[in-house]
Amino acid sequence: MPGPSAPRRTVLKGAALAGAAGLGVAACSTESKLGHAETPTPTAPVDLGEASAVPVGGARLYKEQRVVVSCPAKGQYKAFSAQCTHAGCLLGELEGTVGDCPCHGSKFDVTTGEVLHGPATVPLLAVPVREEGGKLVAGPEK
Ligand code: FES
């Protein structure tokens, strides 16, 4: 006997299909073998909060926003996608300015995006970042 949840299942199935459609687009643009539904870099401005949260000479990982920001000198910021270029996993915690990928062990210099250890061979994708009134904003201009 179909219960009252049957229509809900139908809705969820539709949502899953919509997600899969978006997935195809992301997989094409990132060459991600895992086909993450998210794009590797922000497609709209993303507020990262206080700029002072990134230590001078260090870096900070913003997992939710999927970017990593470094601060080579006071008032200067560089940002990269936190999505590993090997198969699309999100970087784990930072060790200083080295980002580790928990999936297969790739390591990246998050100040340059450079690969320090494979299997990844492609650097992290650069993301525009700017300071606006003491706050960091990553991604394209509005
Ligand atoms: S997805 Fe990062 S090392 Fe494979």
Task: Break the chain into its structural domains and give their ranges.
Answer: 46-138
Question: Would the CB of 90 count as within 6 Å of ligand 1?
Answer: no
The pLDDT tens digits for 7-64 are 444 444 444 444 444 443 333 334 334 434 467 888 888 999 999 999 999 999 999 9
**Protein residue with its CA nearest to atom 1 in ligand 1:** 87
Contacts of 111 (CB under 8 A, 6+ apart): 59, 70, 72, 78, 97
Q: Are 46 and 65 in contact (CB under 8 A)?
A: yes
Q: Which of 31, 80, 83, 101 is the pocket-test mutation for ligand 1 (most atoms within 8 Å of CB)?
A: 101
User: Which ligand 1 atom sits closest to the C-alpha of 105?
Assistant: 3
The pLDDT tens digits for 56-109 are 999 999 999 999 999 999 999 999 999 999 999 999 989 999 999 999 999 999
Q: Please tell me the distance between residue 5's alpha carbon and the centre of ligand 1 in angstroms.
A: 38
Give the separation between CA 30 and CA 132, rounded to whole angstroms. Answer: 29
Residue from 87, 67, 86, 65 nearest 78 by CA? 67
Give the separation between CA 106 and CA 121, rounded to whole angstroms. Answer: 9
**What is the pTM (predicted TM-score) of this model?**
0.73
User: Which ligand 1 atom sits closest to the C-alpha of 101?
Assistant: 2
What is the CATH number that goes with domain 46-138? 2.102.10.10
